[in-house]
Amino acid sequence: MQIISRPRRNRKSAGVRDLLTETSLSTNDLIMPLFFLEGFNKKIEIKSMPGQYRYSLDQLLIKVGELSQLGIKCVSLFPVIEDRLKTKDAKESYNPNGLNQLAIKEIKKAYPEMVIMTDIALDPYSSDGHDGLVDSVTGEILNDKTLEVLQMMAFEQAKAGSDILGPSDMMDGRVGAIRDILDKNSLSSTSIMAYSAKYASSFYGPFRDALDSAPKKGDKKSYQMDFANSREAMRELTLDISEGADIVMVKPGLSYLDIIAKFKEKTNLPVAAYNVSGEYSMVKAAALQGWLDEEKIMIEMLTSFKRAGADLILTYFAEQMAINLQNN
């Protein structure tokens, strides 16, 4: 039998494979999420996320400097708010002198070249632990009243110096409401990375541990998406684009590669994937047991996001991947 086409010829050596690699990763693709809290000289490991920490502001600045030296261009900030400041109206979320706004200002002062992304959602600030305001009688998440709070959050974060706002709340109309207040206050250059397809996922557990932000009652299924749905994600994408999103995101990433690929086909906007806490912790836990090669799994997983169509990846592996790229 004469075999005319032999695909293995293109895999015969490391040099040939490198020449023909279709998908590659660089530090330009990576965004590092960081958790921070009140206090001084604090670096507290998150038990459910080995290798990840809650930093006091002084330690956060040191970490941002280290990431910058590794070539990381963007960090995404998540404040750990003290219980005494959490209220039903989440008013601490738009305190101009609050922890989040202070961190933005301090990072911009120390590292003006670092791109800062910040989160827009009420759960870290809410005594109810939900992304929106909760009706005290019915328990309903109040969409339109929440938009007013999200607007105030967006204004204060942008004014403090945030480069990219990440509305993760999944309220209807949030992107348009945020774009409106930014444009009306001469903050039009602030970007919006919409969490366009944020699924009601069980992969968020370690993140909620890190922020102590789990719902006190009920779940988030009335606003986050059903993980069985794909067409619904396209509807959310279309709405976010029409409302002025600059970047769109799929969250989580690993179980939603098909959605990332569909986003890439549907829009010319940059597409981001969030390699979430549960995905990170699964790899770490298995590696600690000696069941997986952590470095190889990390590279394979992050490459899969890129291969599916992600232009940007929010990942807790960002620092580790940057060190790997620097060493290789």
Q: What pLDDT is stored for residue 328 in this prediction? A: 83
Mean pLDDT along residues 304-321? 98
Q: Which residue has the tokens 């002062």?
A: 109
Token output for 133: 């305001």
CATH, range 23-327: 3.20.20.70
Enumerate the H helices of the chain as residue ranges: 14-19, 57-69, 99-110, 143-160, 174-184, 205-211, 231-242, 257-266, 277-288, 294-308, 318-327
Query: Which DSSP state fits 138?
Result: T
Q: What is the chain's alpha carbon radius of gyration, rounded to the nearest angstrom?
A: 20
Q: What pLDDT is stored for residue 211 in this prediction? A: 83
Handedness of CA 162, 165, 166, 169 (dihedral sign): positive
Summarised one tens digit per residue, pLDDT across range 258-312 is 999 999 999 999 999 999 999 999 999 999 999 999 999 999 999 999 999 999 9
Kindly report the average pLDDT of the chain as a whole number: 96
Query: Which DSSP state fits 103?
Result: H
- Say what the alpha-carbon torsion angle 5, 6, 10, 12 is, to the nearest 10 degrees: -160
Please name the residues in contact with 31: beta carbons below 8 A apart, sequence gap of 6 or more. 72, 74, 75, 76, 117, 272, 312, 313, 314, 315, 318
Does 230 have pLDDT greater than 80?
yes
Crossing angle, helix 277-288 and helix 294-308, to 10 degrees? Answer: 150
Summarised one tens digit per residue, pLDDT across range 123-172 is 999 999 999 999 999 999 999 999 999 999 999 999 999 999 999 999 99
- Say what the alpha-carbon torsion angle 243, 244, 245, 246 is, to the nearest 10 degrees: 170
Summarised one tens digit per residue, pLDDT across range 4-39 is 999 999 999 999 999 999 999 999 999 999 999 999
Crossing angle, helix 231-242 and helix 257-266, to 10 degrees? Answer: 40
Does 213 have pLDDT greater than 80?
no
Q: Residue 209 in contact with residue 271, Cβ under 8 Å?
A: no
Q: Known catalytic residue: 91?
A: no
Which one of 198, 262, 284, 306 is the catalytic residue?
A: 198
Q: What pLDDT is stored for residue 13 in this prediction? A: 95
Q: pLDDT over 90 for what percent of the chain? A: 94
Q: How many residues does the chain have?
A: 328
Residue 289, burial from CB neighbour count under 10 angstroms (0-12, 13-18, 19+): exposed
Distances (CA, A) of 185 to 3, 152, 158, 275: 67, 11, 10, 33
1 band by pLDDT with thresholds 50, 70 and 90: confident
215 band by pLDDT with thresholds 50, 70 and 90: confident
Q: What pLDDT is stored for residue 214 in this prediction? A: 82
Kindly report whether the peptide bond that precedes residue 270 is cis, defined as omega within 30 degrees of 0. Answer: no
Which one of 220, 251, 284, 306 is the catalytic residue?
A: 251
Q: Known catalytic residue: 12?
A: no
Q: What pLDDT is stored for residue 67 in this prediction? A: 98
Mean pLDDT along residues 200-222? 89
Mean pLDDT along residues 239-250? 98
Mean pLDDT along residues 224-241? 97
